[in-house]
Chains A and B, each alone.
Chain A
Amino acid sequence: MANEANLAPFPAEAAESTLRGLNLKKKVRPHEVLIQGFLFLSGIISIFTTIGIVFFLSEEALRFFTYPEVSLLGFLTGIKWQPQIGQFGILPLLNATLLSSTIAMLVALPLGLCVAIYLSEYATPKMRNIIKPSLEILAGIPTIVLGYFALTFVTPMLQSLLGKSTVQIYNVFSAGLVMGILILPLISSMTEDALSAVPNSLREGAYGLGGTKLEVATQIVVPAALSGIAAAVILGISRAVGEAMIVAIAAGAGPRLTLNPFQPAETMTGHIVRISGGDLSFDSVDYNSLFAIALLLFFVTLILNLLSQRIIQHFREVYE
C-alpha cells in the first residue's frame, strides 16, 4: 500500500512532457548510410566482374570472327588449328581438353568415391583426423608444382613402364593422371558430404534387415547420395576442363588431333598459356583467337557449374 501511495503522486504532466521531448523518429546517421552504401557496392562488384568477363571475352571474340579467314562454322568444326596458315578449328584443342579431363575423371572418380565411402562409413575418428588434413594439403598444393611432378616424375615413370617409343616426353596421359590427383580431394570431400547427409535411419533400417557394412554402404547409402555424387563429378569435370598449368607443362605444345593419350596434344587452356606467354601484340588474330577459346571455356565451365549447383540444391531439398 505504501508503494502505491508513493507511485500515485507521480505527476502525469511530467510524464507527458518527457514523452513530448523524446523524438521517436528514426535518427538519420549519415555515416551509417555511407557504410551501407559501401557494403552494397562490395556486394555488387561480383556482378560487375561477371559482366566484365562476358563483355570483354565477347568483344574480343567478336572481333576475332570479323577476320576474313575466320568463320564461326570453321571455328567450331575445323580439325586444324594453325594460325600461321589461317586455320582456326577448335576441335584439336577441344579434343585434347576432353581427353585429359576424361583421364583425370577415370582416376579421380573411383578413387574419390572409395575415399569418401571409407571416410564416411568405415574410418574411425582417429583415421579421419589423419586422412582428411593430408587430403586438404594435397588440395592446397599449387598446380604448377603438380605440373612439375607430372613432367619430371610421372612421365619418366610411364616411359620406363611402357617404353620410350610409346610414351612421348610430353603426353596427355601423365597430365591427365596428375590432374586426377588434383581433383581427387574435391570429389572425395564433396562425395563425403553427400554420404554424411544420408539420414542414419536408412542405414539402421538396412542393418536391421541384416545387411553387412559393405552392402549398407554400396546398396543403400551410395544410391541415396547419388545426386550429390553427380554434382561432385560435374564440378570435378569443370575443374579439369579449366585447369591450365599441369597441361601447359606436361601435355606438350602444338595442337594435334589425336586420341592416343601418349602423344603430345595441346588443350584449350594450354594453348592460351603458351600463346599469351610469348610476345603477343594486341589486335592480332592470335590475340583475339585466345578470347574466342576463353569464351567457349567460360561457357562450358559455367554450364557445368550451374548444373552441379542445381543438383546440389535438389538433393538438399530431399533430405532437409
Chain B
Amino acid sequence: MSEPNKSNERATGLSQVTSNQVLFQNNLPGRHRRGKVLGVVFLASTVVGIIVLSVLLIKIFNDTMGFAALEYKQHPDTLASGDKPLNEMTCAELLPILQGNVSANRFRTLEREKPFLDRSQKECYKLVIFEVTEPVIKETWSLFASLFRSKQIKATVTEKYPNAELTFKFWINQDFVTSPQSDDPLQAGIRTAILGSLYIIAIVTLIALPIGVGAAIYLEEYATQSRLNRIIQTNINNLAGVPSIIYGMLGLALFVRALEPIISGSVFGFSDPTTANGRTILAAGLTLSLLILPIVIINGQEAIRAVPNSIREASYGMGATKWQTVWSHVLPYSLPGILTGLILSVSRAFGETAPLVVIGAATFITFDPENIFSKFTTIPIQIYQWTSRPQDGYRNIAAAAIIVLLILLLALNTVAVLLRNRYGRRMI
C-alpha cells in the first residue's frame, strides 16, 4: 500500500489520474486476495476455540476409562472355592474367607463398623476385595491407548509387572458416585463432595436470591440519582471484577476467624469437636454468596430494566403504590431473567475452587455432612486434590469427578436456557 502512495505524490495532473487507475487495477486482485486470506485466518481462529473445547472434553472422557494394571496381594481367583466366582458368592460364603484372611482385631473392627448380618452381598464382596485381595494400581492407560495399543500395553504389563493383572476399568460408575472418600483410588468416591457442593449451593441460593433481587430492585426502582446510589452502582461493578481468591481471603478473615463462634455453630450449641473451628459449610456458603452477589445484582438489574415502562405506568394509573407495582407487575415480568441470571451465577459458584481452598475446605472427610456446621469438601476441591497427586489412578478419578461436575453444571445451565426460551419471549 505504501509504494503506490509514494508514486502518487510524484505524479501530477492527468498522468496522476491514469497512473492511479493503473495502480488501482493492478492492485485490486492483490487486495481481494489479502481479504480472502485474512478471512480464512479469522475463521480459523474462531474455530480454535471450538477445537480446544472439543479436545478438552475428549481428553477428559478419554481418561475416565481404560486399562489398569492391578497387582493383588492375593488373587481373587485363588480365594474362590469351587466353580463359583467371588462376586457371585453370598455374604455367608464370603465371611469365612474374610475371617480367615484378616487379623482377628481387624475383623472385630469391621463388625463394629457395621454388623456383617446387615451388610448386603455387594458390601461383603467389596470387603473381601479390599481387605483380603488388596489390589494396588500399578499403571493406568487412557481409553484411546487401550483401544489402539492394547498389544503393546499387554506386553508392557507382562514385562514390567509380572504379577499384575490387566483389567478394563470404568472409573466413573455407580460406586464412584455413591461411595465416600478414600485414600485408595479404587475405592474413592465423591458422595461427600457432591453432598457438600449441594449444601453450599443451597445456602448460596437462599442468600443470594433475596439480597441480589432486593438490591437490583432498589437500584432500578427506588434509587434516586444521589451520590450514595452512584457509589453503590460503581461499587457493584467493581466487586464483579474482584478475583475470587480475594473473596476467599475475606471469608477466611471474616467468617472463619472473626465470626468463628457463630459460623462454627458453638453459639447455637452445635459444638461438635469434629467441626474444624470456623471452616464449615456455612462459611463456604456465605463466602460464595458474597462472590456471586454482584453478578446476581447486575443480571437482575438488566432483567428489571427490560420491563417496559408502560406496565409500571398502567399500574400507577390504577392507584397502586410503588411496592404493589414492583411486587405484582415488575417482578413477575422480570422473574425469568432474574432466575436465569441466578442459575448462571450459582453454576459459577458450583465450579469455584480457589476461595474454598483458601477458607480451608477439609480435603479428607469420609462422613456425610450433617448440617451447615459440618466440615465440607466439594467436587472441585476433590478434583484439585486428586489432580495434584502424581500417581496413576488419581488422574483417572479426577477425570471422573470432572465428568460428574460437568454433568451437574450442564443440568443447571439447561434449566437456565429452558427458562429463557420458555418465558423470555413473553416479555417483548
Contact = CB atoms under 8 A, between A and B. Distances in A.
B238 A305 contact: yes
A65 interface: no
Contacts of B239: 46, 49-50
B56 interface: yes
Interface stretch (B73-81, B170-178, B252-260): B252-260
Contact of A148 (B38, B50, B387): B387
Given A50-B239, A131-B46, A269-B245, A39 B218 contact: yes
A38 B215 CA distance: 9
B49 interface: yes
Interface in B19-70: 31-32, 34-35, 38-39, 41-46, 48-50, 52-53, 55-56, 59-60, 63
A114 B322 contact: no
Given A111-B49, A184-B49, A277-B357, A309 B237 contact: yes
Contacts of A172: none
B254 A52 contact: yes
Contact of A152 (B50, B63, B219, B222): B63
B294 A46 contact: yes
Contact of A114 (B34, B45, B246): B45
B203 interface: no
- State the majority secondary structure of interface residues on B: helix
Contacts of B232: 43-44, 46-47
Given A140-B409, A152-B395, A249-B387, A214 B34 contact: yes
Most buried by B among A138, A148, A152, A185: A148
A294 B244 CA distance: 11
A302 B246 CA distance: 11
A218 B257 CA distance: 54
Contact of B49 (A56, A138, A308): A138
Contacts of B252: 276
A36 B223 CA distance: 10
Nearest to B257: A282
B383 interface: yes
Contact of B222 (A39, A60, A188): A39
B301 to A, nearest CB: 11
Contact of A301 (B55, B229, B241): B241
Interface in A81-131: 110-111, 114-115, 117-119, 122-123, 131
Contact of B238 (A110, A273, A306): A306
Contacts of A241: 243
A167 interface: no
Nearest to B381: A144
B34 A32 contact: no
Interface in A228-262: 235, 238-239, 241-245, 248-249
Contact of B402 (A40, A145, A276): A145
B360 interface: yes
B8 interface: no
Contacts, number: 253
A201 B352 CA distance: 44
Interface in A143-165: 143-149, 151-153
Nearest to A219: B1
Contacts of A122: 39, 42-43
Most buried by A among B210, B246, B360: B246
A276 B39 CA distance: 48
Contacts of A273: 245, 354, 357-358
Most buried by B among A119, A294, A305: A294
A110 B45 CA distance: 9
Nearest to B256: A282
B380 A144 contact: yes
Contacts of B215: 39, 42-43, 45-46
Contacts of B315: none
A242 B352 CA distance: 13
Interface residues of A, number: 86
Interface string B194-226: 000000000000000011111101110011000
A47 B46 contact: no
A50 B235 contact: yes
Nearest to A121: B42
Interface in A15-39: 29, 32, 35-36, 38-39
Contacts of B354: 143, 244-245, 248, 269, 273
A282 B42 CA distance: 52
Interface of A: 29, 32, 35-36, 38-47, 49-50, 52-53, 56-57, 59-60, 110-111, 114-115, 117-119, 122-123, 131, 134-135, 137-138, 140-149, 151-153, 181, 184-185, 188, 212-215, 218, 235, 238-239, 241-245, 248-249, 269, 272-273, 276-277, 280, 282, 290-291, 294, 297-298, 301-302, 305-306, 308-309
Interface of B: 31-32, 34-35, 38-39, 41-46, 48-50, 52-53, 55-56, 59-60, 63, 210-215, 217-219, 222-223, 229, 231-232, 234-239, 241-250, 252-254, 257-258, 290, 293-294, 297, 321-323, 344, 347-348, 350-354, 357-360, 363, 380, 383-384, 387-388, 395, 398-399, 402, 405-406, 409, 413
26 contacts: A42-B215, A42-B218, A43-B214, A43-B218, A43-B223, A43-B232, A49-B293, A50-B235, A53-B249, A56-B253, A122-B42, A131-B46, A138-B49, A144-B351, A145-B351, A146-B56, A184-B49, A214-B34, A272-B249, A276-B359, A280-B360, A297-B243, A298-B243, A302-B238, A305-B242, A309-B238
Closest 10 A/B residue pairs (Cβ):
A242-B243, A142-B351, A42-B214, A114-B45, A118-B42, A214-B35, A244-B354, A56-B253, A305-B241, A39-B218
